[in-house]
């Protein structure tokens, strides 16, 4: 199985609500067409989400951190509600958009550029989202995109690639690791990065460091399993 079912239910609900709205709409109306497309799009996303496949289909570019409009347009029924939810959740939430969990190590969400006390520039920004355009590209020297569905950890080789990128960038300056809200995907990568950089002995101590600084962070079962597998496959230089 791919991503966490609890997160997938959000997209199931959108698909069901849109499909029901289309059913209630007047035949051959624009409302029925639009709601039907939203329902169909989110149904496809649920399948890809649970299978943990197809992140590249949304078209987010590894260089620009954005998807060209012609690649994003077919997924608008998924992307627009997701963008709106992320914005509102950030607006009404009581958590900083990014937090310095260790000196020079910043953990946050999509709106990390608004974080209080953030550095003028980050040496590196690691982006774990597939569904959101990058906002910090002009605020960093190096950028790495590791596409992950919400609630899913990076694949093993991507987790090591992300950790190595952050450890290297941190030698030049502060680093930002972010996903949508700075809770799960980004925390998984941050734990690996702190170990790879020698800041923490193991991912569990790294997670505790993150949780003390940013209490909202969470690791689900798959994220913990991924970190265990990563630690076994890529042993830390810290004994």
Q: What is the pLDDT of residue 1?
A: 36
Same domain as 94, residue 47: no
Residue 59 lies in a domain: no
Q: 94 with 48, same domain?
A: no
Tokens of 143: 């950028």
Percent of the chain residues topping a pLDDT of 70: 96
Residue 190 belongs to some domain of the structure: yes
In this structure, what are the phi and psi dihedrals at residue 176, rounded to the nearest 5 degrees? Answer: -115, 130
For strands 98-102 and 105-108, give the pairing: antiparallel
Tell me how far apart the alpha carbons of residues 206 and 111 are, in angstroms, rounded to a whole number. Answer: 23
Do 95 and 204 lie in one domain? The reply is yes
What are the start-end ranges of the H helices in 25-136?
30-51, 69-72, 76-92
User: Does a structural domain hold residue 15?
Assistant: yes
Q: Do residue 104 and residue 44 come from a single domain?
A: no
- Asked whether residue 60 carries a pLDDT value surpassing 60, the answer given is yes
Q: What pLDDT was estimated at residue 4?
A: 46
pLDDT of residue 2 exceeding 50? no
174 within some domain: yes
pLDDT given at position 64: 96
* Alpha-carbon span 119 to 174, nearest angstrom: 7
Asked whether 109 and 182 are in contact (CB, 8 A), the reply is yes
* Domain CATH for 125: 3.90.190.10
Do 148 and 222 have their domain in common? yes
| pLDDT for the residue 137 | 97
Domain-embedded: residue 72: no
* pLDDT tens sequence across 73-102: 999 999 998 999 899 989 998 899 999 999
Q: Do residues 166 and 212 share a domain?
A: yes
Write out the residue range of the structural domain in which residue 154 sits. Answer: 90-233
* pLDDT of 239 higher than 50: no
Residues 102 and 220 in one domain: yes
Residue 174 CB-half CA count within 13 A = 19
Torsion over CA of 82, 83, 87 and 88, rounded to 10 degrees?
A: -40
Confidence bin at 6 (pLDDT 50/70/90): low
Q: Is the CB of residue 161 less than 8 Å from the CB of residue 188?
A: no
What's the pLDDT score for residue 22? 81
* 85: in domain: no
2/53: higher pLDDT: 53
Residue 98: strand pairing partners = 108
What was the pLDDT predicted at 3?
43
Residue 143 lies in a domain: yes
**Is residue 129 one of the residues assigned to a domain?**
yes
- Rounded CA gap, 175 and 105, in Å? 5
Question: Could you tell me if 33 and 146 lie in one domain?
Answer: no
- Sole residue written with tokens 């590894």: 62
Determine the Cα–Cα distance for residues 161 and 147; give it in Å rounded to an integer: 12
**0.85 surpassed by pTM:** yes
Number of domains in the chain: 2
Asked whether residue 28 falls in the same domain as residue 115, the answer is no
């Amino acid at each position: 199985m791919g991503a966490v079912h609890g997160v997938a239910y959000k997209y199931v609900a959108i698909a069901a609500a849109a499909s029901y709205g289309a059913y209630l709409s007047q035949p051959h109306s624009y409302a029925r067409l639009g709601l039907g497309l939203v329902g169909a799009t989110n149904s496809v996303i649920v399948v890809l989400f649970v299978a943990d496949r197809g992140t590249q289909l949304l078209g987010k570019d590894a260089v620009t951190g954005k998807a060209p409009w012609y690649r994003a347009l077919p997924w608008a029924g998924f992307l627009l509600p997701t963008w709106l939810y992320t914005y509102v959740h950030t607006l009404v939430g009581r958590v900083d958009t990014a937090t310095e969990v260790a000196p020079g190590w910043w953990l946050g969400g999509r709106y990390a550029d608004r974080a209080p006390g953030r550095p003028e520039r980050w040496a590196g920004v690691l982006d774990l989202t597939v569904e959101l355009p990058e906002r910090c590209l002009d605020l960093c020297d190096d950028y790495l995109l590791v596409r992950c569905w919400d609630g899913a950890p990076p694949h093993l080789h991507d987790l090591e690639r992300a950790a190595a990128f952050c450890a290297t960038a941190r030698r030049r300056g502060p680093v930002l690791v972010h996903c949508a809200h700075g809770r799960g995907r980004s925390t998984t990568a941050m734990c690996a990065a702190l170990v790879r950089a020698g800041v923490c002995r193991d991912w569990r101590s790294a997670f505790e460091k993150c949780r003390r600084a940013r209490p909202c962070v969470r690791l689900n079962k798959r994220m913990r399993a991924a970190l265990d597998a990563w630690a076994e496959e890529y042993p830390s230089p810290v004994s």
